[in-house]
Amino acid sequence: MVHCADCGFLSVQKPSSPELEETDGDLRRRWMLPSDPSRPSYKLYKDCPVCFANAVNLAEEIAAYGEFRPETVDAVIRFERDCPRFTPWRRGFSPKEHYEMIQMDEMRRWQERQRESDRQWQEAQRQSERDWQEQQALANREWQQKEQRTTRRLQIALAFMAGAFGLLGAFGSRFFSAPQQQGPAVPSLAAPSSAQQPAPAPKQEQ
């Protein structure tokens, strides 16, 4: 809970000016308006204070008490309330300057949030890049391992085929170089020579 008497937006206004000015510490402690130095019979400020942030209509709350009295103003500005626009009073700063300080604080906080958001986005991008590189490296390793396995299988198959062909060549060479057995001799059908012809039989006498 807060009090308007402690807020930097509590303002006073001169009758001849639309400008809202700072409410000094004396008025915050006790609502006794000073006189206009150039016209002592006139008050320097209007009777009712004003909320620069328009968070509350102080004139209506003061009028609700009936006849205007300084004690009524004291009661209203010291009334405990839950105000989202409350900002602590800083001596020497006008309500407008309090508002500008709040704006600068909000801008600074926004910039900090923006920088943090940018940092998180950049970190997320870097992490995404690292994840992508790791996935690519893993895919490359898996591809290389697959290629190595395929190459080994091919080498084994080629070695097996070379061995098989070697065995077949050795067996074929051994088979074709073995001596062949000859069959029984076949008698010649040619006519005998004159040396081998039998002698003619002797003629019988008559």
Give the pLDDT confidence score for residue 135 in this predicted structure: 92
Residues 100 and 128 in one domain: yes
Residues 70 and 132 in one domain: no
Distance of CA 100 to the CA centre of its chain: 35
Domain final residue pick, 89, 115, 142: 89
Q: Is position 11 within any domain?
A: yes
> Could you read off the pLDDT of 146-201 as tens digits, one per residue?
999 999 888 998 888 888 887 877 777 776 665 555 555 555 555 555 555 555 55
Domain final residue pick, 47, 73, 89: 89
Q: Which two tokens stand for residue 117?
A: 């958001």
Residues 9 and 79 in one domain: yes
Residues 59 and 103 in one domain: no
Other Cβ atoms less than 10 A from the Cβ of 7: the count is 25
- What distance in Å separates the CA atoms of residue 59 and residue 178, rounded to the nearest whole number? 134
Residues 50 and 123 in one domain: no
DSSP 50: E
Say if residue 46's pLDDT is above 90: yes
- What distance in Å separates the CA atoms of residue 118 and residue 46, rounded to the nearest whole number? 50
Residues 122 and 150 in one domain: yes
Kindly give, in sequence order, each residue whose CB lies less than 8 Å from that of residue 94, ignoring residues fewer than 6 positions away: 20, 21, 22
Give the pLDDT confidence score for residue 206 in this predicted structure: 44
Residues 80 and 8 in one domain: yes
Mean pLDDT, residues 27-54:
91
- Report the domain count for the chain: 2
The angle formed by the CA atoms of residues 178, 183 and 189, to the nearest 5 degrees, is 140
- What distance in Å separates the CA atoms of residue 70 and residue 67, rounded to the nearest whole number? 10
> Could you read off the pLDDT of 97-156 as tens digits, one per residue?
999 999 999 999 999 999 999 999 999 999 999 999 999 999 999 999 999 999 988 899
Residues 126 and 170 in one domain: yes
66: alpha, beta or left? (left if phi > 0; alpha if psi -120 to 50): left
The angle formed by the CA atoms of residues 155, 157 and 161, to the nearest 5 degrees, is 115
Give the pLDDT confidence score for residue 41 in this predicted structure: 80
Q: Which domain holds residue 107?
A: 94-174
Residues 37 and 62 in one domain: yes
Kindly give, in sequence order, each residue whose CB lies less than 8 Å from that of residue 163, ignoring residues fewer than 6 positions away: none
Q: Is position 81 within any domain?
A: yes
Single out the residue of 99, 79, 80 nearest to residue 89, CA to CA.
Answer: 99
Residues 65 and 15 in one domain: yes
Residues 98 and 84 in one domain: no
Domain final residue pick, 38, 58, 89: 89
Mean pLDDT, residues 87-91:
95
